Amino acid sequence: PVDRLPEIQEARLRLPILAEEQVIMEAVREKECVVLCGETGSGKTTQVPQFLYEAGYASSGGIIGVTEPRRVAAISMSHRVATEMNLPSGVVSYQIRYEGNVTENTKIKFMTDGVLLKEIQKDFLLQKYSVVIIDEAHERSVYTDILIGLLSRIVPLRNKKGLPMKLIIMSATLRVEDFTENKRLFRTPPPVIKVEARQFAVTVHFNKRTPVDNYTGEAFRKICKIHRMLPPGGILVFLTGQAEVHSVCRRLRKAFPYRPHREHTDSMETEEDLKSKRAKKKKNMSLPRINLDSYSALPVDEGDEDRQAGIDDNDNEGSDLELGDHPDSDHEEKADPSIPLYVLPLYSLLAPEQQAKVFSPPPTGARLCVVATNVAETSLTIPGIKYVVDCGRVKKRFYDRVTGVSSFKVTWISQASANQRAGRAGRTEPGHCYRLYSSAVFGDFSLFSEAEITRRPVDDLVLQMKDLNIEKVVNFPFPTPPSSEVLISAEQLLISLGALEEPPRRGRLGEMERARLSCPITPLGRAMAAFPVAPRYAKMLALGRQQGCMPYIITIVAAMTVREIFEDYDRPAGSEEENTKMAGKKARCVQMRRLWAGQGQSVQLGDLMVLLGAVGACEFAGCTHQFCEENGLRYKAMLEIRRLRGQLTNAVNAVCSDAGVYVDNKMAPPTASQVLCLRQIVLAGLGDHIARRVQAEELLDPKWRNGYKTPLLDDPVFIHPSSALHKTLPEFVVYQEIMETTKMYMRGVCAVQAE
Ligand code: ADP
Ligand code: MG
């Protein structure tokens, strides 16, 4: 019996999914696996766990598990469901990589998909759970795909053992054939239940011409027009990245200033909120507040945040720079306070309390305008949207399959995405979608977006799967299998790291490759799989005990796997004054980096020494917000490193019980011999990421000046001007990754000792 508040009950009854409760629960009772499709906002995530709870799926010891591809969704949905059910967070709980509020009484557990994958490693049958819901399956995140593959085996096993278990796959689109028509996955196709959402007609308006690059300017003009000329109704704008979002927000706030009056404050913002806002205003009005807490780490950790967003602030070459700040090329609207616009940004790194604002109604008299990245496409439903402005683009990370070079590119979305975006306008009444591209361009879009697993390296997944004793990874029932080329290169890397056994050297090429694809895991591989970081870093941890290097290696690995620890002072500022201030801060940051790079031997550790020095100094000072602010470090990133150090320390102690490492906040700098050892450990992990400086006599082409040669690339790669080794240019270096921006730059560079 659930005791819901009357207003909650009323809102629930309006959700289309309520009409389908019987049908859904009957299918779940009859079948092992059910696929549920329903438009975003139809009530899947918030209601299905409640249906199951009320049908008794959590009453005989088992719990209801729900996986989300994003941390924000796991947290916010657990809060929402707890509120709706009038139950405490100890009963409706969440678990993400570092934190959670799960208790012994937890009945409904929201978690990221990576968390559930880790649990499968501990208990393959997932005996705690009576039902697992895989949410947002249409996003086709790598972990979602793997979980579906694993659960397609786990569920029948559980039922055979007389421990019944159900699987529910939920999708916002009807494109579920990869799950239902895949005979390797489900021999008998699971039933598909469609939830008919009340979708009102959305009129789609195409642009006649497609702006080549200044789509943010075009978006701004379109929003202004809508706001001036069209009847009330919220506006939702899709752009590609955080910087673009802020830039358009700033221009809109200037054009249609909205000043909160006292009378709306209670519905809108707390006193506290306003106070801090005022304080902020005095200090630095237009510097965005960003939540660095939800940093997405390198590919391996959980399939959390959308990784596009994770890098936004890292990417200075973004097409947004030219946008906001050319008043002459792009005429600014005159400020018009008579028609206030309530402008809110929305992207996945934004702090959860800022994100939550989009759910509340705008202040009276003001129109809501949410300027968002792709997060608004499916995972969050914003009430009251009548107009959608769609730039037609998305920012994605691309990896070169052969060379591993990665870059962030803004590309066209798929037709399916464009239609999802348009659909956001017709939730409460008929709406309009303005596409900032022509219908001809739309016609050239691909029909659907590709599954993530086909777009990134899979060495972390292959190691996790081997640790689950899935030896023949090629035979795994992937909803969409990665290419065998990618699987082979993943196994190759794992063999070279010592995580997998060498294949026997016999037979012809084809046979060898087949043999390679079924190499068993080594004891070292098992140890590596226990560390929640990518295999290259796990190898470093596995070697870290020598010469007392473990605390340093843990710190270096933690810092390398958190996206960006330094504040970015290159983003466009609002005013002259801010620019000057930023320049000052940047200078201070450069100076600090030089200091952290150390002296003598330490210098050879390059950027990794800078990371170690920065974390060491910050922890020594108590990891305060003030220290970070003064020294150009991102406070939330430092907090994440702190948590990760704790977690890695525990993992190391668990893997080797006599390691006896602990987190030392007053770490002394490494000695000269430790530095040498650290460099060797780093080389052992990054051995395939080696580069050699081009010799003067080889300099036939000026493009090779100061360039480095790598085994796989024909073109030179470079040490970035912000690197500690930019001036030294050691003969051999290893690097963390190559990022292509204006040039191919190595990130995280460390000098290798040449003989
Ligand atoms: P789906 O998973 O099908 O996309 P949801 O279950 O997430 O749908 O959302 C159902 C409804 O609940 C939506 O109309 C949404 O606006 C509302 N809702 C979801 N989260 C919140 C929240 N935190 N506050 C208020 N309303 C919410
Ligand atoms: Mg949902």
Flag whether pLDDT at 302 surpasses 60. Answer: no
Kind of pairing between the strands at 63-68 and 108-112 = parallel
Q: Whose CA is nearest to atom 7 of ligand 1?
A: 45
Identify the band that residue 596 occupies on the pLDDT scale cut at 50, 70 and 90: very high
537/682 Cα distance (integer angstroms): 8
Q: Is the Cβ atom of 40 under 6 angstroms away from ligand 1?
A: yes
Per-residue confidence (pLDDT) for residue 428, from 0 to 100: 81
Per-residue confidence (pLDDT) for residue 509, from 0 to 100: 56
Flag whether pLDDT at 282 surpasses 50. Answer: no
Flag whether pLDDT at 43 surpasses 50. Answer: yes
Q: Which ligand is nearest to the CA of 352?
A: 1
Rounded mean pLDDT of 262-279?
45
Per-residue confidence (pLDDT) for residue 605, from 0 to 100: 94
Per-residue confidence (pLDDT) for residue 656, from 0 to 100: 76
Centre of ligand 1 from the C-alpha of residue 583, in Å: 43
Rounded mean pLDDT of 556-571?
84
Identify the band that residue 516 occupies on the pLDDT scale cut at 50, 70 and 90: low
Q: Cα angle vertex 250, ends 246, 251, to 5°?
A: 120
Flag whether pLDDT at 638 surpasses 80. Answer: yes
Q: Which residues contact 437 (CB under 8 A, 6 or more apart)?
A: 206, 207, 210, 391, 392
Flag whether pLDDT at 450 surpasses 80. Answer: yes
Centre of ligand 1 from the C-alpha of residue 60, in Å: 28
* H-state helical runs in 424-508: 439-444, 459-467, 484-496
Of 75-89, 108-122, 652-666, give the lowest mean pLDDT range: 652-666
Q: Which ligand is nearest to the CA of 135?
A: 2
The CA dihedral of 547, 548, 553, 554, to the nearest 10 degrees, is 160
Per-residue confidence (pLDDT) for residue 475, from 0 to 100: 87
Q: Is the Cβ atom of 41 under 6 angstroms away from ligand 1?
A: yes
**Ligand 1: which of 4, 21, 46, 50 to mutate, judged by most atoms within 8 Å of the beta carbon?**
46
Closest-lying ligand 1 atom to the alpha carbon of residue 17? 3
Q: Whose CA is nearest to atom 25 of ligand 1?
A: 359
- Residue at token pair 């590609």: 240
Rounded mean pLDDT of 190-212?
89
Question: Closest Cα to residue 622, out of 598, 637, 609, 638?
Answer: 638
Closest-lying ligand 1 atom to the alpha carbon of residue 427? 14
Per-residue confidence (pLDDT) for residue 366, from 0 to 100: 93
Q: Is the Cβ atom of 42 under 6 angstroms away from ligand 1?
A: yes
Rounded mean pLDDT of 379-407?
84
The string of DSSP codes covering 644-672 is: HHHHHHHHHHHHSTT------TTPPPPPH
Closest-lying ligand 1 atom to the alpha carbon of residue 382? 16
Rounded mean pLDDT of 39-46?
91
Rounded mean pLDDT of 385-397?
93
Is residue 546 within 8 Å of 518, Cβ to Cβ? no
336/47 Cα distance (integer angstroms): 42
Q: Is the Cβ atom of 38 under 6 angstroms away from ligand 1?
A: yes
Rounded mean pLDDT of 625-635?
91
Report the phi/psi class of residue 748: left, alpha or beta, with left for phi > 0 and alpha for psi in -120 to 50.
left
pLDDT tens-digit readout, 323-377: 222 333 445 567 888 899 999 999 877 776 788 888 889 999 899 999 999 877 8
pLDDT tens-digit readout, 213-268: 889 999 999 999 999 999 999 999 999 988 899 999 999 999 999 876 544 433 44
Q: Residue 436 has which token pair?
A: 């900032």
Long-range CB contact pairs, 81-85, < 8 A, 24+: 81/46, 81/49, 81/50, 81/108, 81/110, 83/8, 84/4, 84/8, 84/12, 84/46, 84/50, 85/2, 85/4, 85/50, 85/53
Per-residue confidence (pLDDT) for residue 294, from 0 to 100: 25
pLDDT tens-digit readout, 684-727: 999 999 999 998 767 778 888 899 999 888 899 999 999 999 99
Flag whether pLDDT at 408 surpasses 70. Answer: yes
Q: Is the Cβ atom of 80 under 6 angstroms away from ligand 1?
A: yes
Flag whether pLDDT at 169 surpasses 60. Answer: yes
Q: Which residues contact 464 (CB under 8 A, 6 or more apart)?
A: 117, 121, 146, 529
573/571 Cα distance (integer angstroms): 6
378/394 Cα distance (integer angstroms): 14
Tell me phi and psi for residue 662, to 5 degrees. -145, 160
For the chain, how are helix, strand and coil distributed in percent, rounded to 5? Answer: 45, 15, 40
Percent of the chain with pLDDT over 90: 53
Q: Which residues contact 599 (CB under 8 A, 6 or more apart)?
A: none
Q: Is the Cβ atom of 43 under 6 angstroms away from ligand 1?
A: yes
Is residue 459 within 8 Å of 493, Cβ to Cβ? yes
Identify the band that residue 271 occupies on the pLDDT scale cut at 50, 70 and 90: very low
Tell me phi and psi for residue 554, to 5 degrees. -60, -45
Identify the band that residue 40 occupies on the pLDDT scale cut at 50, 70 and 90: confident
The string of DSSP codes covering 20-38 is: GHHHHHHHHHH-SEEEEEE
Burial of residue 284 (number of CB atoms within 10 Å: 0-12, 13-18, 19+):
middle
> 745: part of which helix (H) or strand (E)?
strand 744-752
